[in-house]
Amino acid sequence: MTELKEDQEDQNQQPQRRLCDFCGENTALLYCRADSAKLCFSCDREVHSTNQLFTKHTRWLLCDSCDSSPASILCCTDSCVFCQNCDWESHNLSLSPAHERRPLEGFTGCPCVSELLSILGFEDLGKKALSYGDSVTSDGGGYGFSDWLVWDTPSVVSLDDLIAPNDSGHNFQAIGVPPLPKNRNAACGKHKEEILSQLRELSKLEPNSSDDQDDIVAFQFMEPAQNRHLGFKGSGFMQNSEHAVVPSSEGSAFNWCSDTGEFTDQGFSSSLADCFIETKCLLPDRDSDVGDASGGANEEQSHNPSIAETFQMVPKVAHRELNSQERETAVSRYKEKKKTRRYEKHIRYVSRKVRAESRTRIKGRFAKMDMHQ
DNA sequence: CCCACGCTTTGTGGTTCGAAATTAT
DNA sequence: GATAATTTCGAACCACAAAGCGTGG
């Protein structure tokens, strides 16, 4: 808690270093390399929503150390984001080389508030924090931010769920993508409160323009009536199962970009996009599961060519940015899959089910048939 | 091409157990 | 913050009929 206060004091002591270049009033939290400008979230949206060209600008969080460069490294140990220079100084020249760090990516487009929350790695927190914004006091009272912060990047499983049969029992795993710890600090560095404050303000101005009403409702369900409507009981924060496994940024018109500005995949962080690409190389298209599974093996075989297609697609997609039409197509494909996805268990052979239910068991296991029967 | 045959593979559900996550102290 | 207790979750296990597949006539 003392660290938090120190951080806040630091922020209070040097607001002039982070003034938004556009409005000159708010604290700048983002950096746009294309514009060489420090921006607050509000101005960022204003500036980058004016035309399609500007939406391609990649923005990063501002470095917590120098306040003047785009942050590309998150130090989980310090809960700070650093530009490359500051990261080098902090972790290579100091006594803290063993700090747990990971790369940060920028984003493009004009993500809505919920998407920004997702980008910053605390979408659930954000929903909760914004919903109960008054409870999160700047002096550290009420809920502490460390309590809110939950790294909520969709798990590999959920992404896998988007692109591969989850009931196939496969043993494939994306190569080189270490599983993310469940609980992590959000990737927003020392200015979490200011970020949430600005996002809170932004959310007030934001119309419910998203076509994914579920996210909007989930995002705004601070009203008891909405809780009742959604069937939520109690006051705890919950998500329905759909949201628990699907990136909330789905269908959004923004891209994650690596530090080099390469396209990764819309709606997914680059690491997850890597996972997506690599997994797609190994797994048959999920369509084989979406359709009527009664086709059995023949149907699966009929979808196998998608693997070859994938091999052709990967290098092409990975190194260029999708145009808007391709993006829309990809989004619509994903949404269509989402609509037809079946979570319930599907029985392919009813006769086997009937037999299994009637079989004798010992501690749940199938037992040998009594030869005398 | 069709059919019969034999071998291999698949799928089915209730229970258990261990790992991970969460909660309590 | 550390540790213990509790809860949650998912994989593994089992036998065997049915499906899948190759082969020979």
Give A106-151 pLDDT, tens digit per residue. Answer: 777 777 777 777 667 654 444 444 443 333 333 333 333 333 333 3
Q: What is the pLDDT of residue A201?
A: 77
Instruction: Locate the DSSP E strands across chain A.
Output: 30-32, 37-39, 59-61, 73-75, 80-82, 101-103, 106-107, 255-257, 263-266, 361-362, 365-366
Q: What is the pLDDT of residue A365?
A: 92
User: Percent of chain A having pLDDT more than 90?
Assistant: 2
Q: What is the pLDDT of residue A49?
A: 75
Show which residues sit with Cβ under 7 A of nucleic chain B. A 169, 181-183, 345, 347-349, 352-353, 355-357, 361, 363-366
Q: Over 60: is that where the pLDDT of A22 sits?
A: yes
Question: What's the whole-number mean pLDDT along residues A155-166?
Answer: 34
Q: How long is the CA A235 to C1' B22 vector, in angstroms?
A: 18
Strand C bases within 7 angstroms of protein beta carbons: 12-21
Under DSSP, is residue A70 helix (H, G, I), strand (E, B) or coil?
strand
CA A301 to C1' C21, in angstroms, rounded, equals: 15
Name, of A22-36, A100-114, A332-346, the range with top average pLDDT. A22-36
Res A298 pLDDT > 80: no
pLDDT at A332 over 80: yes
A367-CA/B10-C1' distance, Å: 19
Output the pTM of the full model.
Answer: 0.41
CA-to-C1' distance for A179 and B24, Å? 28
Using the structure, give the distance in angstroms from the CA atom of A33 to the C1' atom of B20, rounded to a whole number. 42
User: Residues near chain C (nucleic strand), Cβ < 7 A?
Assistant: A 296-298, 349, 351-352, 355-356, 359, 361, 364-369
Give the number of residues written for chain A. 373
Name, in order, each residue with C-beta under 8 angstroms of A291's C-beta and a sequence gap of 6 or more: A299, A340
* CB A111, CB A120: distance < 8 Å: no
Instruction: State which of A143-152, A206-215, A220-229 shows the largest mean pLDDT.
Output: A206-215
Nucleotide nearest to A1 (CA to C1'): C1
Amino acid A361: pLDDT? 92
More confident: A201 or A303: A201
In order of A117, A234, A313, the CA distances from A112 in angstroms are 9, 28, 29
Q: Tell me, in Å, how far CA of A265 is from C1' of C20?
A: 39
